[in-house]
Amino acid sequence: MLIIEKEHLSKLLEIYRAETYAKDGDALFSKTKFGFTMHNANLVTICSFHTYQKLLETPLAIKDKVYLQLLDKFDLRYEEGASDYFSKHMETVHALYHAFLYLDYEGVYHLCEALLKPLSSDIVFENEYRLLLEAVQDFHHMSEKIDIDILEHFLHVSFLFPDELQIMLYDLCFRSYYKYHLDMKACGKVLEEVQRQNLTSLVLDIDLLIYDVYTVSIPKHIYQINALLDDLLKNENYNRSFDVYVMKLNYVHENNEDDSEIYQEVEQMIKTKPVHPKKKFAWLINTIIHSFDHKEYDKVIQLFEGNFLQTKVPIIAVLLYYSASNITKHPFQIISQCAIMENASLLYVDLKTYFEYDLPIYQRERRLFSFFKEISYDNSILNQIIYNEFALYYKQFSKGTLLRFIEEIIKRKL
């Protein structure tokens, strides 16, 4: 084995051991007994606890066969040259990174596919390469949610990858914690590791700005927002620019400034530049949310009916359309194919049912009180939908002091 392989294997074995023991609690994966294994119902010694400690501290001093036997405990095998896989395919790695940098979703998918084909799941090193490439592929092509334990694993094994793939790994972890797990503390730890590794990338700059804007304040970062946006547009990186446009919009809204110029600029970019359909779709949803938030209910209806009828759309857009239609007395159409987001809250599903069925007054009141219990600070748009329904109910069927009191509570929550 090469020197670097032994150094990496010593780290991997301890990672695998700790993960397995934390998951299963099997005594044979505890640190003191990891040097033992079962063979034909007999306990067999691979190495002593002292030898395993030595493997972790001075991996070069340990014979190859010890590594091989310890890998057997994870149904993994060593193959010469496997650790050198990416250096033999650097041209494809560079192309993958470029596709990732410019959010070329199809390019990311196909280049990951090309790198994945020769990789085996039972060969150490190759298995790790496979796991990351599959996650990158799923996240960018299918918007798949990645479990926290897998994200933590990636952060532990990041040392196995060349710089460009490390950047993709850290961005994958940051975006997953931010978008799906809503864990800004974990996002901060990812960025700390990025700084420790001295990695630089336009994508990581965007991640850092997202984190700073979320945890500190937008006004302090408007200069960085504008500078980064100028850089992205100068390099014709239109797909990546949407993240920064959203931050700029938030800045404008916090300062009660006119946002029409930003919307016009983005609409012009969408019409004249090679923007990916996924980004166009996301911006359309953002525009619907923005219009609803500004009580432009007719525009919500117009945007929805002009783009989404008889198609699969995020449930939040459907709820906004239903609510806007209810407010304006517009007879909303039943949408035959509405994609409920996977793992969507029951509150979303219940609200959709509330709108789709013409409930009697007494049932509507009961459902509104049920929704009221679910109102929270972390979803202002959903809260606004519920609040609007309460307001309509009060207007038509005033119940006096109690309902006015509840209305005041809702306003305070919002």
H/E run at residue 37? strand 36-39
Q: What is the pLDDT of residues 78-122, one digit of tens each?
A: 999 999 999 999 999 999 999 999 999 999 999 999 999 999 999
Question: DSSP per residue over 169-189, as a string?
Answer: HHHHHHHHHHHTS--HHHHHH
As a whole number, mean pLDDT of residues 58-76 equals 95
Under 8 Å CB-to-CB from 137, ≥6 apart: which residues? 108, 109, 112, 113, 116
Comparing 127-131, 289-293, 375-379, which segment has the lowest mean pLDDT?
375-379
Q: How far apart are CA 111 and CA 322, in angstroms?
A: 41
At residue 187's C-alpha, the angle toward residues 157 and 107, to 5°, is 65
pLDDT value for 406: 59
Confidence (pTM):
0.85
Confidence bin at 414 (pLDDT 50/70/90): very low
Q: How far apart are CA 113 and CA 107, in angstroms?
A: 10
pLDDT value for 349: 78
User: What 8-state DSSP symbol labels residue 378?
Assistant: S
Q: What is the pLDDT of residues 271-295, one digit of tens each?
A: 999 999 999 999 999 899 989 988 8
Comparing 120-134, 166-180, 225-239, 391-405, which segment has the lowest mean pLDDT?
391-405
